[in-house]
Amino acid sequence: MKKIVIGVLLCIIVVMSCRNTYLAEGFETRTQTIVLLGDSILKNNTYVKKGVDELLNDSTDLNVVSLAKDGAVIGTTYKQLEHIPGDLNTKTTVCVLSVGGNNIIEDYINGSHQVEDTDHLTTLFDSYKVLVKRLREKMDKASILLLDIYYPTDEQYKEFYPLIERWNKMQSEFADTGDVVKISKMLTQPRDFVFAIEPSDKGGKKIADSILSALI
């Protein structure tokens, strides 16, 4: 009887040892660095207790490189790309990009373009595609995640929902399905926003969780 028990215990030890070795080796090929690029969807620190970058740092042992800037638009994001360290262009790096929303605000909400002017939105999206292509060229060994644009629940933004919907549709058609993180389906409640349009503490947590879920 003792021999049987000892034999069973030895088998369990061997299985657990193999499992731990497999997990350790597997982790070496998984994400080790997250690079955040774009606007305040990823750099909302000014508006909350903890920004998305800080939440990611708290939730994981991964290296989080935050290059995103509050107020960034497509054109200014190229500067962020220039600051990505060259040694991060590896298979264990994931670049997360969130940009385009401020362009819509500038040109439609604060600018002269009408919601019906979808041709201009297509032009904006074409410039977005050029930016993504540039990122892919620079970080050709890394993975890239694109965040879509959420729908702020404040009444003043609801007339622009058709633009956001059209943008997100173009993004889905442009990118591979697995490359888009649809935060528009996660941030749907007023409590997810602060100052009408920025991710709140709760909203930021949803964004961070969505990014981490996409890495699994």
Kindly report, residue by residue over 42-51, the tens digit of the pLDDT.
Answer: 999 999 999 9
Q: Are 66 and 92 members of one domain? A: yes
Q: Are 17 and 94 members of one domain? A: no
Of 91, 82, 66, 102, nearest in space to 208 by CA:
66
Residue range(s) defining the domain that contains residue 20: 1-30
Phi, psi angles (nearest 5°) of residue 69: -130, 140
* Predicted local confidence at residue 27, as pLDDT: 31
* Predicted local confidence at residue 216, as pLDDT: 75
* Predicted local confidence at residue 31, as pLDDT: 77
* Predicted local confidence at residue 176, as pLDDT: 77
- Residue 168, SS3? helix
Q: Are 5 and 84 members of one domain? A: no
* Predicted local confidence at residue 139, as pLDDT: 97
Q: Are 84 and 175 members of one domain? A: yes
Q: Are 53 and 3 members of one domain? A: no
Residues of the chain with pLDDT under 70: 1-29, 177
Q: Are 10 and 110 members of one domain? A: no
Of 94, 106, 129, 103, nearest in space to 210 by CA:
94
Q: How many domains does the chain have?
A: 2
Tell me the pTM.
0.85
| Angle value at C-alpha 157, between 152 and 161, nearest 5 degrees | 80
Q: Are 90 and 23 members of one domain? A: no
- Residue 161, SS3? helix
* Predicted local confidence at residue 6, as pLDDT: 43
